[in-house]
Amino acid sequence: MLLRWLLFVAQTLVLVAKALVGSLLPPKRRDLRADHVLITGGGRGIGRALAREFARRGARKIILWGRTEKCLKEAAEEIQAMGTECHYFICDVGNREEVYRQAKAVREKVGDITILVNNAAVVHGKSLMDSDDDALLKSQHINTLGQFWTTKAFLPRMLELQNGHIVCLNSILALSAIPGAIDYCTSKASSFAFMESLTLGLLDCPGVNATTVLPFHTSTEMFQGMRIRFPNLFPPLKPETVAQRTVEAVRQNQAFLLLPWTMHILVILKSILPQAALEEIHKFSGSYTCMNTFKGRS
């Protein structure tokens, strides 16, 4: 038994050392030229930037899902103008039957999906007591359960082909919640657990992997009006930066990516500081009140 323990510790240390050495060497990258990439919420914001970045990196076909046809059509035309085949489908990811129906339509029209990007999400920006019950349910249906349905729809074929990647655009709020967006933070935390479980579950599935991206505030319409106390110290990310880093993480098969890297400090502080000290940090940094000025998508 002692020998088994020693072996386990030695193996873990070897893997840590391998990762450290690996980070110094030029990484092996996935060639995207044969990939069919489906992006939920691909008509605008980070989703649209992701479509551009996957196209720029040579993906073979891009498929956009969303609810607003005007944005999807414009985005698809932009991608086609870049020389990449692009299709769009109207699909509410919170509606299970619609997801399965449109997944079938995608397979028939475009073929198998090899990279699925679960990006679609909504935020209502209210406290629990101020939130309408239907709005609370809607954010869980779209932000969390939507990923169950899209993943169930496309993962089986990826496993058969032994070729696939599931990507989740999560949020740093999954690991460090703020008041005033209780449904959003809850949905992102459960979506994070979904991705952690899925990532581990794919360990024995050759050729199929997962990437979870946890960005800080990003300058799209989603969190319009939200005010951070030290914007010069913590400027919002650009959607293009999030897209570039996400595509790079997929190509390098990185399981988890926090953006920017300084968010690791937040996670470490959260696990070691007493609650009273954390509350003081929330108050001082303004994250405690940042949603008071939230307007969201107008």
Ligand X SMILES: NC(=O)c1ccc[n+]([C@@H]2O[C@H](COP(=O)([O-])OP(=O)(O)OC[C@H]3O[C@@H](n4cnc5c(N)ncnc54)[C@H](OP(=O)(O)O)[C@@H]3O)[C@@H](O)[C@H]2O)c1
Catalytic residues: 184
DSSP-based three-state secondary structure for 139: helix
- Residue 40 CB neighbour total at 10 angstroms: 25
User: If you count DSSP H runs as helices and E runs as strands, how many of each does the chain have, helices first?
Assistant: 10, 7
Task: Give alpha helix (H) positions in the chain.
Answer: 2-24, 45-56, 69-81, 96-109, 133-139, 146-161, 182-201, 239-251, 263-272, 275-285
x/- map, 33-52, ligand X, by CB under 6 A: -------xx-xxxxx-----
166 or 222: CB nearest ligand X? 222
Of 2-10, 30-38, 88-96, 101-109, the segment contacting ligand X by CB under 6 A is 88-96
What angle do the packed helices 96-109 and 146-161 form, to 10 degrees? 30
- Considering only CA atoms, which of 183, 202, 190, 204 is closest in space to residue 255? 202
* Interacting residues with ligand X between 249 and 288 (CB under 6 A): none
Pairing of strands 208-215, 164-169: parallel
CB of 136 to ligand X, least distance (A): 15
47 or 164: CB nearest ligand X? 47
x/- map, 14-33, ligand X, by CB under 6 A: --------------------
Of 7-15, 30-38, 65-73, 151-159, the segment contacting ligand X by CB under 6 A is 65-73
x/- map, 128-157, ligand X, by CB under 6 A: --------------x---------------
Residues found near ligand X in the complex (CB under 6 A): 40-41, 43-47, 65-68, 71, 92-94, 119-122, 142, 169, 171, 215, 217-218, 220-223, 297
